[in-house]
Structure 1
Amino acid sequence: MTYRPIAVSLTAITLILGGQAALAEAPSTVHATYRAASADQALAPGEKIADLFTLNMTAPYILQKLTDRTYWYQAGFYGTTWYVGDEGVLLFDPLDGQAPKILEAVRKVTDKPITAVVYSHDHADHIGGTQALFDLLAGQQPVPEIIASQETADKMERLGSTLPRPDRTVAWPEGSFTFEGLTVELHGFAHAAHTEDHSAWLLVGERVLHAPDLLNADQPPFWDFAGSERFTYLQDNLRQADALGWDYLNGGHGNVGSHDDIAFHLTFIDDLVAAVGTAMGEVPWGFGVDPATLTAHTAMLPAWYAEISRRATEALRPKYGTYYGFDAATPPNAEMVAEYLFSYR
């Protein structure tokens, strides 16, 4: 399922309309040090890109150097990663609708051909630009090889995907491949929250982890925990990724990530679970539904969850309310947690 998150605020409206006024960016969830985006100067581990929301709203794309060979890209709040080898470029996730901009950004740092493309997982918003990219590279030799996990390849087959299929697969849930001497490890989430082929790809020598939709760095969890199909295994997925050897995380959205971002998410989730649990004990079944006008019992569960979500959100507001996207994201996340707590005891 494709989703396109857009942060709607007075800042966004002002920028869209071409006005001059702008609100301050939200505070960092991890007390980060910010630096201006640069394709030439690498970030130190833990540093983040300054004014990222404003850049997403005003710039064609943001390009940031992470290491001597690895780059971080974002446009329209969607991001990806590439590695420049001696002979070619390894590109992760040709984002839907962004092939021309991605190619332009790659060309800012190298004229080497894109020789391999990795699918992180089978969601079209992250890999839907593959054919458009290949069209732009028509005539290039060699033709880029598409690499994906076996689980992603199997899922594309099951669903009859119209996107270009992988040429090579990596064993699921743990496997690896080599690109010009760089080892790239697949760490699949055998029990995944986001989608069944969700995974983290570790560029071992670069200490960079590419794991779209695991978390939005420097933000509270995004809507439905980054579009996850379930909440059930999310904490385990975060801990699994945290245990790997990396300094930089590209979560596909949000800022450049660090281990502190995972710690923040785990703390936030613990607080949210506690707040939802408290609200579930306070809100009686049938809250918000008038029995005199009830024509179907199906109105009762949504009304119950909605009040639980509202109370849990307000309980977290003093601690988290000033952070990026809190009001839009927390209520649906609270409903997912309520469904989890209601289902598993």
Structure 2
Amino acid sequence: MKRPKFLSIFSMIAAAVTFSVQADVPEAPSTVSAVYRAPSVTEALAPGEKIGNLFHLNIETPYVLQRLTDRTYWYQSGFYGTIFYVGHKGVLLFDPLELRSDKILESIRKVTQKPITAIVYSHDHGDHIGGTQALLNAIKNQARPPRIIASQATADKMERLNSQLPRPTETISWPNGSFNFDGLKVELHGFEHAAHTDDHSAWLLVGERVLHAPDLLNSDQPPFWNFAGSERFTYLESNLKEANALDWDYFSGGHGNVGSHDDFTFHLKFIADLKAAVAKAMGEVPFGFGVDTSTINAHTIMLPTWYDEIARRATESLRPAYGQFYGFETATPANAVMIAEYLYSYR
């Protein structure tokens, strides 16, 4: 029996339609004091530079296409992003995003008419790789279908969960391995102990100095809700440090702006501050706070109520330093709850 098909909420945002926003609502300030540039298909960003007005561009335009290097391009639409590399004979595409295969193909054709000869799955989450079949259908007249490359961990997970998405035709050894595309070495750096999901990994385009690791962090923002949909917080800091230690100039995180090492420094500082604020609140808020035990007949309300108050206090304590940044109000309480669970569990 096939599973029912579900669409990610975020994949539906601006995937097929665009919206208008108030022109006088300013963009949130940069978390890393970045220099902003208008997007360009021809002019590469310097390392550390970012695309200006990215929130408005995601709302009001079909997609954003930015040249990173001579051969690597960064794509985003509806707050979902990926990269592609134009080789001598073909195109290497990472993560055919759900509901965006037509726009991704259109953006590639703005740059080159070369065939898409390889696809890489960064990890087995349908919102990032769910557009693969539609893309394959759109390029079926190519002389040859593209290679579909994934880590062995991703291939095993797709098999275990009976994925309905096109399966990899090639696998890379886990947690570390590499493959060659048209003279470009691409390295897999898998997180043996991963926060986001068990097959989460970072892919390094060695000669291009570009790192692609969707859902590791959203550049130019505080951590997104539930740390970008992570299944656990426990290993996130070590994953960030592992990726930051690699040799790259441009970071593609699947969401947020084009990233730099400064974004990793910001995230690690923010997480450290939030951990300290959560720990302080846990010491101040007694278990059972806010619950009238004379009106309940089950204790299950007590833990989430305790966590919610801890998260509220931690969020308030960080607001003076971080409250002006993108998505702080929405994301921080949920992230604080994840940290509270972590601190409560591991002592």
Q: What is the CA distance between 1:3 and its match in structure 2? A: 4.1
How do 1:226-245 residues align onto structure 2 when only pairs under 5 Å count?
226-245=228-247
Q: Which residue of 2 aligns with 1:335?
A: 337
Number of aligned positions between the proteins? 338
Paired residues for 1:110-125 under 5 Å? 110-125=112-127
Aligned residue for 1:292, secondary structure, equals: helix
1:204 corresponds to: 206
Partner amino acid for 1:321?
G
Please state how far the C-alpha of 1:4 moved relative to its aligned partner.
3.6
1:89 has 2:91 as partner: yes
**Cα shift at 1:288:** 1.0
Quick check: 1:2–1:123 contact (8 Å CA) kept in 2? Answer: no
SS at match of 2:293: coil
Q: Helix, strand or coil: the match of 2:41?
A: coil
Instruction: Determine helix, strand or coil for the equivalent of 2:342.
Output: helix
Q: Which residue of 2 aligns with 1:12?
A: none
Q: Distance in 2 between matches of 1:271 and 1:43?
A: 31
5+ long unaligned stretches in structure 1: 9-14
CA contact (8 A) 1:217 1:254 kept: yes
The AA in structure 2 aligned to 1:25 is: E
Counterpart CA distance in 2 for 1:39 and 1:184 is 23
* Cα distance between partner residues in 2 of 1:39 and 1:234: 33
Q: Which amino acid aligns with 1:260?
A: D
2:227 aligned residue (222, 225, 228): 225
1:50-69 aligned within 5 A? 50-69=52-71
Q: 1:279 corresponds to which residue? A: 281
**Equivalent position to 2:40, from 38, 41, 46:** 38
Residues 183-240 of structure 1: CA deviation (Å, up to 9, x unaligned)? 0000000000000000000000000000000000000000000000000000000000
Q: Does 1:47 align with 2:49?
A: yes
C-alpha deviation, 1:19, in angstroms: 6.0
1:137 and 2:139 are equivalent in the alignment:
yes
Q: Distance in 2 between matches of 1:133 and 1:179?
A: 20
Structure-1 residue corresponding to 2:302: 300
Question: CA 1:30 to 1:231, structure 2 compared with 1: closer, same or farther past 3 Å?
Answer: same
SS in 1 for 2:82: strand
1:291 aligns with 2:293: yes
Any idea what SS the aligned residue of 2:300 has?
A: helix
* TM-score, normalised by the number of residues in structure 1: 0.96
> In structure 1, what is the Cα distance between the partners aligned to 2:21 and 2:164?
41
Residue type at the aligned position of 1:344: Y
Return structure 1 stretches of 4+ with deviation > 4 angstroms: none
Contact 1:96 1:127 in 2 (8 A): yes
C-alpha deviations, 1:94-124, integer Å up to 9, x for none? Answer: 0000000000000000000000000000000
Q: Residues 58-101 of structure 1: CA distance to partner in whole angstroms, max 9, x if unpaired?
A: 00000000000000000000000000000000000000000000
**1:247 corresponds to which residue?**
249
Aligned to 1:318: 320
Rounded Cα–Cα distance in structure 2 between residues aligned with 1:299 and 1:252: 36
How far apart in 1 are the matches of 2:297 and 2:30?
47
- SS of match in other structure, 1:169: strand
In 2, are the aligned partners of 1:189 and 1:198 still within 8 Å (CA)?
yes
Separation (CA, whole Å) in 2 of partners of 1:189 and 1:164: 23
Q: Deviations over 1:10-50 (max 9, x none)?
A: xxxxx83x465430000000000000000100000000000
Contact 2:21 2:56 in 1 (8 A): no
Match of 2:3 in 1: none
Contact 1:99-1:130 at 8 Å conserved across structures = yes
Correspondence for 2:197: 195
1:101 to 100, 103, 112: 103
C-alpha distance in structure 2 between counterparts of 1:258 and 1:341, whole Å: 29
Q: Distance in 2 between matches of 1:28 and 1:217?
A: 9
> Aligned residue for 1:146?
148
* Distance change in 2, residues 1:203/1:142 (3 Å): same
Unaligned runs of 5+ in 2: 1-5
CA distance in 2, matches of 1:129, 1:151: 20
**Aligned partners of 1:302 and 1:272: how far apart in 2?**
18
Cα distance in 2 for residues equivalent to 1:2 and 1:235 = 29
State how far apart, in whole Å, the 2-side matches of 1:21 and 1:30 are: 24
| Equivalent residue number for residue 81 of structure 2 | 79
CA distance 1:5–1:334, shift in 2 (3 Å): farther
User: What do the CA deviations read for 1:266-293 (whole angstroms, capped 9, x no partner)?
Assistant: 0000000000000000000101110110
Aligned 8 A contact 1:89 1:112 in 2: yes
CA–CA distance in structure 1, aligned partners of residues 142 and 310 of structure 2: 56
Look up the SS of the partner of 1:67 in the other structure: coil
CA–CA distance in structure 2, aligned partners of residues 94 and 19 of structure 1: 28
Contact 1:4/1:125 (<8 A) preserved = no
